[in-house]
Structure 1
Amino acid sequence: MSDGVATMVQLLHESAAVTGLVPAGSIGAGVLPLGTPLPYLSLSLVSSSDMNMPAPGAKRRVLDRVQVTIAAATYDELREISKAVKSAGADQVPDVDGISQVTVHSLGAGPDFMDETASIYLGSRDFRVWYNEVR
């Protein structure tokens, strides 16, 4: 799991607003196990960039773009969870084990859609996670 994804999983688990809507066991990195009950949050790394600086020293500045995919049983539930996810991750400066100077910002939401075959409402929110890692 990338440090950006781990950061977002941590923030979502720490948010009472999020865990009040989505059980902590249904929030995770990557593809969640088949049969995970709705609602759930699946997090993935969209991109990761190292900031190239001359003589950066012992640490490197990294930018991860993280997507939170939201799956819900109803459209209203999807929208409510999306708002809670945005609040949990927007403009945060969390302490995260193994990395330093972490900053998280919301990048916005993707489209809402429905998997009609599975009767699942889906949406996404993207976040930018900046941090320093040991080289």
Structure 2
Amino acid sequence: MEDVIRLLAVREQPLSVDEVIAAVRDAHAGGTVVFLGTVRDHDSGRQVTRLDYTAHPTAEDELRRVAEKIAAEHPVRALAAMHRVGELEVGDIAVVLAVACPHRAEAFTACRQFIDELKHTVPLWKRQCFTDGEEEWVGICC
């Protein structure tokens, strides 16, 4: 599985789309899908000024578990994912992931499942800061 999972990281530094794409290049892959999650300027009708992401110490381990699941369930040739922590401004990249498969339909399906499972299971939380000075934590659960 290590040859399929090429790059996984939770980082404070700005994320590199080029690094993720380079990690999943594979001569046997006919389709590569890249997903970028960026900080938007609004949420539920409120204006967002910035986000602050925090990760549990087990976040990278859980990210690996999700990656292994995706690789086991789909004909993945290569995958990579990075999530940012710390303060992010509107427009910053919060998450970038890529999946390379033999065919495009497989790559789209695997990429969609990868981001959905990452968002639901990897212990990462965000504090949204709004223009009115209020803040809200998202992703905190039991």
TM-score under structure 1 normalisation? 0.30
TM-score by length of 2: 0.29
